[in-house]
Amino acid sequence: MDFSFTPEQDQLRETVRRFCDQEVRPLIEEAEENERFPVQLFPKWGEMGLIGVRYPEADGGGGFDKVSECIVREEMSRVCQAFASTWSAHSHLGIWPLWKAGTPEQKERFFKPALAGEKIAAFGLSEPDGGSDIRALKTRATKVEGGYRLSGSKMYITNSPHADFITLAARTRPEPTVDAISLFIVELPNPGFEISTLKKEAIRSSETGLIYIEDAFIPDDCLLGGVEGTYPVILECLSENRVGVSANCLGMAIGAFEAARDYAQTREVRGQSIGKYQAIAHHLADMSAEIEAVRWLVYYGAWRVDQGTIDGATAAKVKLVASEAAVKISEMAIRIHGGAGLMREYPVGRIHKDSLVYVIGEGTSEIQRNIISRAMEL
Ligand SMILES: Cc1cc2nc3c(=O)[nH]c(=O)nc-3n(C[C@H](O)[C@H](O)[C@H](O)COP(=O)(O)OP(=O)(O)OC[C@H]3O[C@@H](n4cnc5c(N)ncnc54)[C@H](O)[C@@H]3O)c2cc1C
């Protein structure tokens, strides 16, 4: 067993940390206030090679691995989860299916410009009638001459208000079976797509859309891989991303812990810093210990992805533990701040709200428990 990162991975962490602290942190306040993502980050991420970090060099990526991608996610989320969620919806959900199952032409046309941050991607799976029960999705794709006609709706789609394309799931046959579900690459704007931006309480500067789709024409060459029935690609994509977003949860927990520790060192009550009170010191000790446990669970999950041995239940365990820990740790960070914890001047209130995103998104904690217990064959 070897728990060390490679010198290249240490270097990557240092580069991303410096970039996030120096260039990203100053953008947060305005972006959160206006609920607008600073789109100039896309080409910047592309230029730094951060979008394609886990994709092979042969496909235009950085040639690193999932462990390295998790380092990038951890460092991004330590500073701002809204920006990291935007990155995740683009760099993983929106383009991983293209990398995995796209035709060479689709890779040239969509995947490569997305790696460079020239095109913005989104992933459209969830619908107003159900996010957890993805097999029940209702958006219909009807075969017509030269392509498909899509009708339906999509809910909570990250990046959709400013996306250049959406990798979108629709039912290509009416049967309620999973092999009737296919993926399309929908170029935007499309006259059949009406996208409105949702107002949110968490990850406010990550832009999230509600989409109405009415008789939208999608040409044949935008059916992912040129074949129907790509539901297994969706499952594999989600499973790997459960490990990925767990690294985001780790980053949020670290960001909250660091803020609470710094506050405990400087805030004085009755003539001494609050960190000198054992009650506060013990809370910080618990937070630090839990972060250590989550860190190694997350990187174990990433290592399993790199080994090609990750399974749905393991990915669900990693996400369940990491996401719930981020919620708990960031709530404690607020308590340690006292009243200041609820003031926007301090980051911990934002981090706590943002942490709730991953006990819901990418499958709720209840769904993770369903996946884990199903594997037990009780
Ligand atoms: C900020 C944000 C960004 C998102 N981005 C995207 C995106 O980019 N693309 C995308 O496709 N989706 C996205 N989502 C959607 C997200 O994946 C869903 O919200 C999530 O899967 C839950 O679906 P739902 O909201 O419809 O909740 P529901 O499915 O209605 O669930 C409601 C409650 O019932 C529980 N529940 C449901 N089914 C079961 C069950 N079988 N057993 C036990 N409990 C159950 C759930 O755990 C939850 O507590 C995003 C969501 C948010 C909040």
Report d(CA 94, CA 88) in Å as an integer: 8
pLDDT for 302: 97
pLDDT at 53 over 90: yes
Q: Sorting pLDDT into bands at 50, 70 and 90, what band is 299?
A: very high
pLDDT for 269: 96
CA of 201 relative to ligand 1 center, distance in Å: 16
Domain 232-374 matching CATH 1.10.3470.10: the answer reads: no
124 φ/ψ angles, rounded to the nearest 5 degrees: -110, 95
pLDDT at 130 over 90: no
CB distance 89 to ligand 1 below 6 Å: yes
Using CA positions, which residue lies closest to atom 14 of ligand 1? Answer: 156
pLDDT for 176: 84
Count other Cβ atoms within 10 Å, centred on residue 333. 31
Report d(CA 250, CA 172) in Å as an integer: 38
Report d(CA 359, CA 101) in Å as an integer: 28
Which pairing describes strands 193-197 and 147-158: parallel, antiparallel, or unpaired? unpaired
pLDDT for 1: 85
In the set 35, 362, 366, 377, the catalytic residue is: 362
For a mutational test of ligand 1's pocket, the pick from 37, 132, 165, 324, i.e. the residue with the most ligand atoms closer than 8 A to its C-beta, is 132
pLDDT at 135 over 90: no
- Distance from CA of residue 346 to its chain's centroid? 24
> Which numeric CATH code is attached to 7-115?
1.10.540.10
Q: CB of 126 within 8 A of CB of 155? A: yes
pLDDT at 365 over 90: yes
pLDDT at 337 over 90: yes
Report d(CA 280, CA 197) in Å as an integer: 41
Domains of the chain, by residue range, sit at 7-115, 121-230, 232-374
Report d(CA 280, CA 264) in Å as an integer: 8
Report d(CA 205, CA 83) in Å as an integer: 7
pLDDT at 131 over 90: no
Average pLDDT, integer, range 360-364: 95
pLDDT at 175 over 90: no
Q: State yes or no: is 228 an active-site residue.
A: no
Superfamily name with CATH number, domain 121-230: Butyryl-CoA Dehydrogenase, subunit A, domain 2 (2.40.110.10)
Question: Within a 13 Å sphere around the CA of 247, how many CA atoms are in the beta-carbon half?
Answer: 25
pLDDT tens readout for residues 82-95? 999 999 999 999 99
Report d(CA 118, CA 51) in Å as an integer: 11
Report d(CA 239, CA 81) in Å as an integer: 20
Nearest to 88 by CA among 100, 99, 78, 96: 96
Max intra-chain CA distance, the chain: 78
CB distance 125 to ligand 1 below 6 Å: yes
Alpha-carbon Rg for the chain in angstroms: 21
Q: Sorting pLDDT into bands at 50, 70 and 90, what band is 284?
A: very high
Mean pLDDT for all residues in the chain: 97
